[in-house]
């Protein structure tokens, strides 16, 4: 029952996570250490300017060395994903005379590859067309989240393999500019922070000898960020990374046979090969097509981008200091956000180009300049995500509870002082006293109109078009500080399940299809429909859904389920998952775009990069969120927060074939209630009284 309760809470409320397991900057020694890293980086820029002849590494006659730093973590111990990618590399039949592939493995409690010892961080060379792993050395430190371990790996390869081009793939979980990269499962899920990644590379012999990596790639979530590009600009010519959470299969390493062609050693060529293989793989995915975004960034353009970015943010900062916080916050709120893993995980990274588009009306010249330089930096990108353009930025807004703590961690990065100050000032208002009162909106302010056609809200999507509306009027002050809202539909329960109390109401769907008019009227357009989940054999059951994102012509919903199946030991086990569904004009009744595990955020702070393929004959149970209405002494309905929890399961079926999603009408004659949940520009939520 505890698992069900946690699942319910995370479904409806964005409960943020605590961040990484380390604490930085708490001692003079630690701060001095990172100051030395920054000082060393500054001298590197001078070395590169004066010694362009040694721009590439020591001669290898058109050869390349590919390093893989593989932090196995739970991706390996639970699913064997690292072992699978290692095998994929071996089967790619790369030209071993032209390309050497060297890996470092560690960080997992157990490895599915019997040749890899989980008790050590070891270095191996891979060979094409064989499962042979040639162990070269065991590193002194087995903590893959220690920067010295990463440095030791790079130094070993550099000292033992001569080549014209060195490249690096960092494999595992990623958490972006705030949370860093790589969770070592054997060391309390320790991670490499941005500062520690900086330390690892600046101390490597390849870098100190005046060379650069040709390209560095992250087969990890959320690392396609300006902050990451700025960090690696002294160390690499190109960066290949994803703005969004990656699916569990990650990159498609079968393309590495093409990469061993000398023409594809350069970062721009390698980036196109890797990105095309990645996108083609998920475009042809058998089960469903998860969201993906992968881009190749030319790091030689970093200085120009940073100059334009700081000019842009300085004028935004000026408006912030002049009291235009809510305007800026709404522009941020409309921007494409990444890392919305499920109802309880959101990582506050947004597409930088889309941010300039949303702010263009206020800062046209500065936005144009930044868009131009970003276009020069983004060499190649492929995505199936609306408003994903190839590079993100951290902009705190969704994670109200931990915004302060995350900003404190973020400020320790060696990034733009101008932007750091903007983030601090923005967050102070975000976490400050409410700018307006919302408790004066009462039931009398709300009106409901149910009709066959109300003209819609101007943002009708797929089969979720308007069939009625629910509206309230906001004061001028409330309208000025309004950010967004959702409407939820609850139906009086007529089921006879024992766990559902008589008189309880069941949630069908919540929708963000809400608009605010110039006169302060907030209107939510309703559709008399809900989702049903099934399979290609004809099974179909009811389910509830929450709208987590809405954009121009599309909406994304999450549906909570439980899957029960036999594990490898023959025992029945149950896991909670979220099914992601996109509704748009091409898919008016929904399209499944991902299935993700509901995991313990207190253990795993980074996105888990694990898309799920449900096993055939698994028992699928759809979650039913219910509440028993409480009444005030005067007979009026009490607020939603005072209602009694009464949740369980709609129904179950044995999965037979592919999972399907559809929409059906809600009975128009049953008793329903509608609940408006309003968010202000400071991330505060206000649930209005129920309207019947």
Is 454 a residue whose pLDDT tops 80? no
Average pLDDT (441-445) is 56
Average pLDDT (652-669) is 91
Tell me which range, 477-491, 626-640, 665-679, is most confidently predicted by mean pLDDT: 477-491
Q: What is the DSSP string of 612-642?
A: --PPTT-EEEEEE-EEE--B-TTSPBPPGGG
228 vs 451, more confident: 228
Percent of the chain with pLDDT over 70: 82
Name the percent of the chain in helix, strand, coil, to the closest 5: 30, 30, 40
**How sure is the predictor about 14, in pLDDT bands with cuts at 50, 70 and 90?**
very low
- Give me the pLDDT at residue 608, please: 66
| CA angle centred on 225, ends 222 and 226, rounded to 5° | 170
Residue 401, by phi and psi: left (phi above 0), alpha (psi -120 to 50) or beta? alpha
Rounded (10°) angle between helices 403-410 and 417-430: 170
Residue 624 sits at φ, ψ, to 5 deg, of -120, 115
Give the integer Cα–Cα distance in Å for 297 and 372. Answer: 14
Is 9 a residue whose pLDDT tops 60? no
- Give me the pLDDT at residue 436, please: 87
Average pLDDT (501-523) is 86
- Token couple for 114: 């019997």
Q: What is the pLDDT of residues 38-58, one digit of tens each?
A: 555 555 544 444 443 333 344
- Give me the pLDDT at residue 689, please: 65
For the chain, what is the mean pLDDT? 84
- Give me the pLDDT at residue 637, please: 67
Question: Residues 508, 687: contact at Cβ < 8 Å?
Answer: no
Report the side by side order of strands in the sheet with 514-516. 447-450, 468-473, 521-526, 514-516
Is 553 a residue whose pLDDT tops 60? yes
Kindly report which listed range (123-132, 451-460, 541-550, 592-601) carries the lowest average pLDDT score.
451-460
Question: Residues 55, 212: contact at Cβ < 8 Å?
Answer: yes
Q: What is the pLDDT of residues 516-533, one digit of tens each?
A: 999 888 888 777 889 999
Give the integer Cα–Cα distance in Å for 96 and 134. Answer: 14
681 vs 636, more confident: 681
Question: Residues 146, 129: contact at Cβ < 8 Å?
Answer: no
- Give me the pLDDT at residue 550, please: 87
Is 260 a residue whose pLDDT tops 90? no
Q: What is the DSSP string of 177-246?
A: HHH-EEEEGGGTTEEE-HHHHHHHHHTSHHHHTT--EEEEEEESTT--BHHHHHHHTTTEEEEEE-SSPP
Is 11 a residue whose pLDDT tops 80? no
Average pLDDT (533-552) is 92
- Give me the pLDDT at residue 125, please: 96
**How sure is the predictor about 302, in pLDDT bands with cuts at 50, 70 and 90?**
very high
Is 504 a residue whose pLDDT tops 90? no
Is 607 a residue whose pLDDT tops 70? no
- Give me the pLDDT at residue 677, please: 85
Is 369 a residue whose pLDDT tops 60? yes
Kindly report which listed range (138-147, 231-240, 245-254, 322-331) carries the lowest average pLDDT score.
245-254
**How sure is the predictor about 599, in pLDDT bands with cuts at 50, 70 and 90?**
low
Percent of the chain with pLDDT over 90: 54
513 vs 622, more confident: 622
- Give me the pLDDT at residue 196, please: 97
Is 466 a residue whose pLDDT tops 60? no
Residue 270 sits at φ, ψ, to 5 deg, of -60, -40
Give the integer Cα–Cα distance in Å for 147 and 127. Answer: 27
Give the integer Cα–Cα distance in Å for 348 and 335. Answer: 11
Is 535 a residue whose pLDDT tops 50? yes
Residues 6+ apart with CB under 8 A from 35: none
Q: What is the pLDDT of residues 167-180, one digit of tens each?
A: 999 999 999 999 99
Is 604 a residue whose pLDDT tops 70? no
Residue 182, by phi and psi: left (phi above 0), alpha (psi -120 to 50) or beta? left
- Give me the pLDDT at residue 311, please: 98
Average pLDDT (140-158) is 97
Distances (CA, A) of 264 to 98, 119, 128, 255, 424: 11, 36, 18, 11, 43
Average pLDDT (584-611) is 75
- The domain limits of the chain are 28-301, 436-687
Give the integer Cα–Cα distance in Å for 100 and 163. Answer: 9
**How sure is the predictor about 569, in pLDDT bands with cuts at 50, 70 and 90?**
confident
- Give me the pLDDT at residue 363, please: 97
Average pLDDT (399-409) is 82
DSSP state letter for 503: T
CATH code 3.40.50.11970 for 28-301: yes
**How sure is the predictor about 549, in pLDDT bands with cuts at 50, 70 and 90?**
confident
């Amino acid at each position: 029952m505890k698992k069900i309760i946690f699942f319910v809470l995370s479904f409806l409320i964005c409960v943020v996570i605590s961040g990484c397991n380390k604490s930085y900057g708490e001692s003079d020694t630690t701060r001095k250490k990172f100051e030395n890293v920054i000082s060393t980086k500054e001298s590197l820029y001078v070395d590169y300017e004066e010694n362009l002849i040694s721009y590439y590494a020591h001669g290898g006659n058109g050869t390349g060395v590919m390093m893989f730093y593989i932090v196995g973590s739970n991706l390996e111990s639970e699913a064997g994903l690292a072992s699978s990618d290692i095998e994929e590399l071996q089967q790619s039949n790369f030209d071993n005379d032209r390309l050497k592939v060297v890996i470092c493995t560690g960080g997992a409690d157990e490895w599915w590859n019997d040749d890899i010892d989980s008790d050590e961080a070891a270095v191996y060379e891979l060979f094409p067309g064989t499962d042979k792993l040639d162990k070269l050395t065991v590193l002194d430190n087995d903590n893959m989240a220690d920067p010295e371990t990463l440095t030791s790996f790079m130094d070993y390869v550099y000292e033992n393999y001569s080549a014209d081009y060195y490249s690096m793939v960092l494999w595992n979980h990623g958490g972006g500019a705030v949370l860093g990269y790589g969770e070592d499962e054997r060391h309390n899920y320790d991670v490499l922070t941005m500062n520690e990644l900086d330390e690892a590379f600046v101390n490597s012999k390849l870098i100190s000898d005046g060379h650069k990596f040709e390209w560095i790639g992250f087969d990890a979530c959320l690392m396609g960020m300006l902050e990451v590009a700025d960090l690696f600009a002294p160390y690499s010519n190109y960066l290949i990374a994803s703005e969004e959470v990656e699916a569990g299969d990650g990159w498609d390493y079968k393309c590495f046979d093409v990469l061993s062609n000398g023409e594809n050693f350069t970062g721009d060529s390698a980036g196109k090969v890797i990105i095309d293989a990645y996108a083609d793989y998920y475009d042809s995915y058998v089960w469903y097509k998860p969201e993906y975004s992968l881009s190749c960034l030319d790091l030689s353009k970093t200085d120009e981008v940073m100059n334009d970015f700081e000019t842009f943010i300085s004028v935004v900062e000026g408006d912030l200091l002049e009291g235009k916080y809510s305007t800026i916050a709404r522009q941020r709120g409309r921007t494409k956000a990444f890392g919305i893993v499920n109802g309880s995980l959101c990582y506050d990274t947004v597409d930088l180009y889309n941010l300039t588009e949303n702010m263009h009306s206020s800062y046209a010249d500065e936005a144009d300049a930044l868009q131009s330089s970003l276009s020069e930096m983004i060499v190649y990108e492929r995505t199936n995500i609306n408003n994903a353009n190839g590079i993100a930025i951290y902009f705190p807004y969704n994670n109200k509870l931990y915004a302060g703590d995350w900003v404190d961690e973020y400020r320790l990065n060696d990034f733009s002082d101008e932007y750091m100050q903007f983030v601090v000032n923005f967050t102070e208002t975000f976490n400050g006293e409410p700018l307006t009162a919302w408790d004066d909106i009462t039931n009398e302010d709300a009106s409901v109109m149910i009709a066959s056609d109300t003209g819609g809200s101007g943002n009708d999507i797929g089969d979720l078009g308007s069939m009625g509306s629910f509206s309230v009027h906001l004061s001028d002050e409330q309208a000025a500080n309004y950010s967004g809202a959702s409407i939820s539909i609850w139906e009086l329960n007529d089921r006879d399940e024992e766990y559902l109390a008589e008189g309880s109401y069941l949630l069908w769907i919540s929708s963000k299809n809400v608009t605010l008019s110039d006169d302060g009227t907030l209107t939510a357009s309703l559709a008399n429909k809900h989702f049903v989940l099934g399979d290609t054999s004809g099974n179909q059951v009811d389910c509830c859904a929450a709208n987590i994102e809405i954009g121009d012509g599309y909406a994304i919903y999450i549906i909570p389920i439980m899957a029960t199946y036999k594990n490898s030991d023959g025992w029945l086990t149950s896991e909670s998952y979220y099914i992601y569904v996109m509704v748009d004009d091409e898919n008016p009744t929904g399209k499944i775009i991902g299935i993700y595990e509901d995991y313990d955020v207190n253990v795993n702070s980074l996105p888990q990069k694990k898309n799920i393929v449900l096993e055939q004959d698994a028992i699928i149970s759809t979650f039913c969120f219910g509440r028993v209405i409480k009444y005030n002494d005067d007979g009026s309905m009490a607020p939603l927060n005072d209602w009694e929890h009464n949740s369980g399961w709609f129904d179950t079926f044995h999965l037979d074939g592919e999972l399907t999603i559809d929409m059906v009408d809600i009975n128009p004659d049953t008793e329903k209630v509608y609940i408006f949940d309003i968010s202000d520009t400071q991330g505060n939520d206000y649930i209005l009284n129920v309207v019947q």
